[in-house]
Structure 1
Amino acid sequence: MSVAICMTAFNANAALEIYENDGMSFSADGLVNAFYANSSIEKTDAAGVKSDRDQSRVRTGFLPNNIGFNFANQLSDMKIGMRSSFWVSISDADNHRDATPDDLGTGSLIDIRQFYGTVSGDWGELLVGKDFGLLNRANILGDELLLGFGQTSDFFGLVDGGNVSFGNISTGYTYPFPKSQITYRSPDLNGFKLAVGLMDPNKIAKNSSEELPRAEAELVYTTDLDNLGLKAWVSGAVQSSEIEDKKQNQSGVGYGANVKFSGFSLTASGFQTKGLGHIAGLDHLVGDDSIKTDGYLVQAAYTLDSNRFVLTYGETNVENTNSILDATHSNAGIAYFRTIRPGLTAVAEYNQTKADVSNSLVGEENNTISIGAVFTF
Structure 2
Amino acid sequence: MKNNNIRKSALYLALSVAMGASAGAHAAVEIYNQDGTSFSVDGYFNAFYVNREDKLADTRNSDVKMGFLPNTIGFNFSKEMGELTLGGRSSFWSTINDSLQSPTDTAIDVRQLYATVDGSFGQVLIGKDFGLYARSNIFLDEILMGFGSPGAPTGVSFGNIRTGYPYPNPSAQITYRTPDLGGLNIAAGIFEPANTTPGAGSEQSAPRIEAEVTYSADLNGVSLTGWVNGRTQSSENDTDSVDSTGLGYGLRASVAGFSLTGSGFTSEGDVPVLISDTAATIGEEDADGYLIQGSYTLGANRFVLSYGETDSDQADYETENTSIAVFHDVNSNFKLVAEYNMFEQTTKSTGADAADIDTLALGAVVTF
Fold-level similarity (TM above 0.5): yes
| Inter-CA distance 285–263: structure 2 relative to 1 (3 Å threshold) | farther
Aligned to 1:234: 228
Any stretches of 5+ residues in structure 1 without a counterpart? Answer: 44-50, 96-103, 153-157
SS at match of 1:249: strand
Q: Deviations over 1:171-190 (max 9, x none)?
A: 00000000000000001112
Match of 1:183 among 175, 185, 189: 175
Say if 2:290 and 2:309, in contact at 8 Å, map to a contact too. Answer: yes
* Conserved? CA contact 2:197–2:236, under 8 Å: no
Instruction: Indicate the residue corresponding to 1:343 in structure 2.
Output: 333
2:33 alignment partner in structure 1: 20
**Is 1:250–2:244 an aligned residue pair?**
yes
Q: 1:3 to 1:80 in 2, by over 3 A?
A: closer
- Which letter maps to 1:110? I
For residues 7 and 86 of structure 1, the distance between their equivalents in structure 2, rounded to whole angstroms, comes to 20
CA contact (8 A) 2:212 2:228 kept: yes
- After TM superposition, give the deviation of residue 305 of structure 1 in Å: 1.3
* Aligned match of 2:120: 122
State the 1:106 CA deviation: 3.8
Instruction: After TM superposition, list the pairs within 5 Å mapping 1:8-87 onto structure 2.
Output: 14-43=27-56, 51-87=57-93
Aligned to 2:8: none
Any idea what SS the aligned residue of 2:161 has? coil
Normalising to structure 1: TM-score of the pair?
Answer: 0.88
Deviation at 1:42, TM superposition (A): 1.7
Measured in 2, the distance between the counterparts of 1:241 and 1:126 equals 27
- TM-fit CA distance, 1:14: 4.5
Distance, in Å, in 2 between the alignment partners of 1:77 and 1:362 is: 59
For 1:155, the equivalent position in structure 2 comes to none
Displaced runs of 4 or more, over 4 A: 11-14
Pairwise CA RMSD of aligned residues? 2.0
Aligned residues: 347
Q: Give 1:205 shift.
A: 4.2
SS in 1 for 2:87: strand
For residues 111-163 of structure 1, what are the alpha-carbon distances to aligned partners after superposition, in whole Å with 9 as ceiling and x for unaligned? 000000000111100000000000000000000001110001xxxxx3x6101
Whether the 8 Å CA contact 2:148–2:341 is kept in 1: the answer is: yes
SS, match of residue 55 in structure 2: strand
- Percent sequence identity is 44
**How far is the alpha carbon of 1:94 from its aligned partner?**
2.9
| Equivalent pair of 1:109/1:163 in contact (CA under 8 Å) | no
Residue 367 of structure 2 aligns with which residue? 376
Alignment deviations for residues 212-236 of structure 1 (CA, whole Å, 9 cap, x no partner): 1100000000111221110000001
2:204–2:234: 8 Å Cα contact kept in structure 1?
yes
Whole-angstrom CA distance in 2 between matches of 1:7 and 1:185: 23
Please say if 1:111 is aligned against 2:109. yes
Contact 2:52 2:359 in 1 (8 A): yes
Spell out, residue by residue over 1:310-332, the C-alpha distance to the aligned partner (whole angstroms, 9 max, x if none).
Answer: 00001111114xxxx73101100
Q: Does 1:162 align with 2:175?
A: no
CA distance in 1 between partners of 2:239 and 2:215 (Å): 41
C-alpha displacement of 1:86 = 0.3
Q: What is residue 136 of structure 1 aligned with on the other side?
A: 134
The answer to whether the Cα contact below 8 Å between 1:175 and 1:277 also exists between their aligned partners in 2 is no
TM-score calculated relative to the size of structure 2: 0.90
> Are 2:300 and 1:306 equivalent residues in the alignment?
yes
**Whole-angstrom distance in 2 between the partners of 1:6 and 1:270:** 19
